[in-house]
Amino acid sequence: MIDTALTYFQTNGMITIGVLLFLSIYLVLTVWIFVYKWLELNASINQEINSLDSLVHGESKINPLSSIGQYIGNSPVSKELLEVCEISLIREASSGLSWQSIISSTAPFIGLFGTVVGILESFATFATSSKVSFAVIAPVISEALVATAAGIFVAIFAYTFHQILIRKIYILNTYIKSQINVILTRR
């Protein structure tokens, strides 16, 4: 396996290797954003669940540990202030997700670029040969297709992680709206 990888890197051009390195950075960034946001959103959701439970069970004050309580502080509660609070909290929760979307949409094209360059490089080397058979061309083209496969691989994870995080933000927004409704009903 390691010998195959070393041979692959030795036989391919710098652009193909650069594309694979770039896609590796994309993959690491995708996983890092996902883990960070997943943990952050889970903590926020648990905090909002506890805050909503305390409001539903008769607490008259907003839990100061909840996001709404931290945002409002000691300000007088109004519908407008709560709406601004909700928008601000969701904007904060969704920060960084645009990178997941960018990665999921650009990774296949970056991989395709690597494949096209790899095929062009291989055709340039075949131009000096007098006879080229399918047995010679097929392995070179299959090596070039690795870049496209890597791009699609990264895009699948980025898109999946993006959708999972969007769902978590929706859940968080549901708890925030529920708290706002309870607060406004008691006003």
Q: What is the pLDDT of residue 22?
A: 94
**Cβ atoms within 10 A of the Cβ of 51, count?**
24
Question: Using one digit for the tens of pLDDT, what is the confidence trace for 149-184?
Answer: 999 999 999 999 999 999 999 999 999 999 999 888
Q: What is the pLDDT of residue 144?
A: 79
Query: Which residue in 152, 4, 129, 14 sits closest to 137, CA to CA?
Result: 129
The more confidently predicted of residues 115 and 6 is 115
Question: Using one digit for the tens of pLDDT, what is the confidence trace for 64-92?
Answer: 778 888 888 777 888 898 999 999 999 99
Q: What is the pLDDT of residue 62?
A: 78
Task: State the burial class of residue 175 (Cβ atoms within 10 Å of its Cβ: 0-12, 13-18, 19+).
Answer: buried
Q: Distance (Å, rounded) from C-alpha 185 to C-alpha 64?
A: 19
Is a pLDDT exceeding 90 seen at residue 59?
no
Q: Which pair of structure tokens corresponds to residue 12?
A: 């391919």
Confidence of residue 117 (pLDDT cuts 50, 70, 90): confident
